[in-house]
Structure 1
Amino acid sequence: MTQIDTTFAKDWLADELADVLDEDYELEIEDATLSREIARIYKDKHPDSLDRRVYLSNLIHLQAELIKLQDWVVHTKQKIVVIFEGRDSAGKGGVIKRISQRLNPRVVRTVALPAPSDRERSQWYFQRYVPHLPAGGEIVLFDRSWYNRAGVERVMGFADEDQVEQFFNDAPEFERMLLRSGIILAKYWFSITDQEQQMRFLMRIHDPMKQWKLSPMDLQSRVRWEQYTKAKEEMFERTNIPEAPWYIVEGNDKKRARLNCIQHFLSLIPYQPVPHEEIRLPERVFNPDYERATLPPELYVPQKF
């Protein structure tokens, strides 16, 4: 490689790293339209929040490990399911976004099912989740899962006590069936305090870019905080089985929660480096008789920026 090529490669790599950091900063600027007063209060409530540079450097390192995990999953045809549960605004979506951010969406996909239809309500409870389970070489991240029945459905009265009891009887065996089929299952509960949830809800109310995250159900979760607590405690008691234990992520500090969760998830999986074929860029074929057509200007997106 010539000196010119080396210089070009270094400049290109620097530009690429800058783009990576820009993308991360874009994800982190979650309070862009937030009122100064709410932002100040939130910062005062989190004086020991992780430094952004420390957070981003650790996040990029962990995301590099996630790519290695992804390669291993594809190479060995492994099947992984990760369940993310927790109170509204606890940070489930944030960690899912950071896990999948640099991974292949054909390998790693997120499942966030809407409320069941009338037809689905008449089915076996677990039936609508089964089609979303991974095939070999896939990782599925459930943003809420079949544990809806033990939480929101129970607290909000969408499931009666007989249905909840049936769920508690069935869920451990259902998960054992998944494990026997070769699926690796990890279950995370994101835990935040009453005060932290209240603050995050207020932030969403005052931020037009986040108001879509608040539903009438979310607001009811504030009213029924203690009912959700009791439901969560029984859920742990009845479904924390040795083969598929629950892992609680302390979520009051979003950045630490994301890093801790990803690090722990990686520690659960026995992934190894896998062989890669050397990638070579083929030479471009030039046809001296080819003449590129001129396209009409109306086909182009206007350059406003």
Structure 2
Amino acid sequence: MNNFSEKELKKLNSKKGLLSILSNDVINLPKTIRYIDYERQLKSLQTELIRQQACIIDNNMRVIVIFEGRDSAGKGGAIRRITERINPRHFRIVALPKPTEVEQTQWYFQRYIQQFPKAGEIVFFDRSWYNRAVVEPVNGFCTDEEYKIFMKQVNDFERMITESGILLVKIYMSISKKEQAKRFEDIRNNPLKQWKMSKVDEKAQELWDSYTYYKNKMFENTKNNGIPFKVIKANRKTDARTEAVEHILESIPYNKDREI
């Protein structure tokens, strides 16, 4: 029997608490309390994101935030929480499909450059040019030579981005093999989520060690005067989302006293 404090009982008896309890098949009161705390923390952080975005707009800043990570690591969910309260006219979410025949003849980075932000805009990449660092070599979508050229060029490419005045934030969402398997099973069993499962996703568990190898090579490459990733442990989605928001707030300067 759990002994809840008066404060915790008030949370459970709140509208949010009761809705959370009633919306789940299994009653888990400690989990409900954690969720209420998460919702309150997220709301506070989202208020700061609104303040930060206002400063980005006022100062004509250009910002790129890239999210990388294994399939079902929670990249899209984190981006949705980050963007759900900010001004939609001043941000874009970019999740590019596989390259067209024309794009395959271009410089690899070219199609990403076309998505870069204008003044006062934030662009969120749900997977980025780092597809060539991990997903493509693991699945045989690029040649060894193309991979080597990318790894040689990427740090210089990002140096050019930042020297041009664009702020670049790099986040990697990290999950365990067991957690990925659990999320895949949830997707397969949920008709509202089944569209998320691709042929590449289906092979992710089988190719886990190969993904790990190329992921580590990607991190190692940033030590050659590159920009490191912020690695976020994402087995618990709520913690990962708030940590991602906190990292963005820490990485992009803004006036914390600005009225909104």
Partner of 1:147: 130
Q: Distance in 2 between matches of 1:83 and 1:260?
A: 15
Does the CA-based 8 Å contact 1:99-1:262 persist in structure 2?
Answer: yes
Q: 1:269 deviation in Å?
A: 1.5
Does the CA-based 8 Å contact 1:190-1:250 persist in structure 2?
Answer: yes
Query: Residues 21-170 of structure 1 correspond to what in structure 2 (within 5 A)?
Result: 51-170=34-153
Does the CA-based 8 Å contact 1:129-1:146 persist in structure 2?
Answer: yes
1:201 and 2:184 correspond: yes
Q: 1:239 deviation in Å?
A: 2.7
- CA RMSD, Structure 1 to Structure 2 (Å): 2.6
2:215 to 221, 228, 232: 232
Whichever residue aligns with residue 92 of structure 1, its letter is: K
Q: 1:274 deviation in Å?
A: 7.9
Does the CA-based 8 Å contact 2:138-2:211 persist in structure 1?
Answer: yes
TM-score w.r.t. the length of structure 1 is 0.74
Q: Distance in 2 between matches of 1:49 and 1:96?
A: 23
Q: Distance in 1 between matches of 2:204 and 2:239?
A: 24
Whichever residue aligns with residue 66 of structure 2, its letter is: I
Q: Distance in 2 between matches of 1:66 and 1:131?
A: 25
Gaps of 5+ in 2: 1-14
Q: 1:242 deviation in Å?
A: 5.2
Instruction: Output one character per residue of 1:216-266: Cα deviation in whole Å (capped at 9) or x when no partner.
Output: 110111110100000100011113555622110000000000001101110
Q: Distance in 2 between matches of 1:247 and 1:105?
A: 25
Does the CA-based 8 Å contact 2:65-2:124 persist in structure 1?
Answer: yes
Partner of 1:267: 250
Task: Give aligned pairs, total.
Answer: 243
TM-score w.r.t. the length of structure 2 is 0.87
Q: 1:48 deviation in Å?
A: 7.0
Q: Distance in 1 between matches of 2:259 and 2:171?
A: 32
Q: 1:162 deviation in Å?
A: 0.7
Partner of 1:179: 162
Partner of 2:172: 189
Q: Distance in 2 between matches of 1:242 and 1:101?
A: 34
Instruction: Output one character per residue of 1:49-73: Cα deviation in whole Å (capped at 9) or x when no partner.
Output: 9711100000000000000011000
Partner of 1:5: none
Q: 1:188 to 1:276 in 2, by over 3 A?
A: closer
Tell which structure's C-alpha radius of gyration is larger: 1
Q: 1:49 to 1:267 in 2, by over 3 A?
A: farther
Q: Distance in 1 between matches of 2:175 and 2:33?
A: 17
Q: Distance in 2 between matches of 1:223 and 1:193?
A: 14
Partner of 1:300: none
Q: Distance in 2 between matches of 1:122 and 1:138?
A: 29
Q: 1:162 to 1:64 in 2, by over 3 A?
A: same
Q: Distance in 2 between matches of 1:242 and 1:259?
A: 29
Does the CA-based 8 Å contact 2:51-2:259 persist in structure 1?
Answer: no
Q: 1:83 deviation in Å?
A: 0.6
Percent of residue pairs identical: 43
Whichever residue aligns with residue 268 of structure 1, its letter is: S
Gaps of 5+ in 1: 1-17, 278-305
Q: Distance in 1 between matches of 2:194 and 2:34?
A: 27
Q: Distance in 2 between matches of 1:111 and 1:226?
A: 28
Q: Distance in 2 between matches of 1:269 and 1:146?
A: 21
Whichever residue aligns with residue 220 of structure 2, its letter is: E
Q: Distance in 1 between matches of 2:78 and 2:33?
A: 15
Does the CA-based 8 Å contact 1:80-1:138 persist in structure 2?
Answer: yes
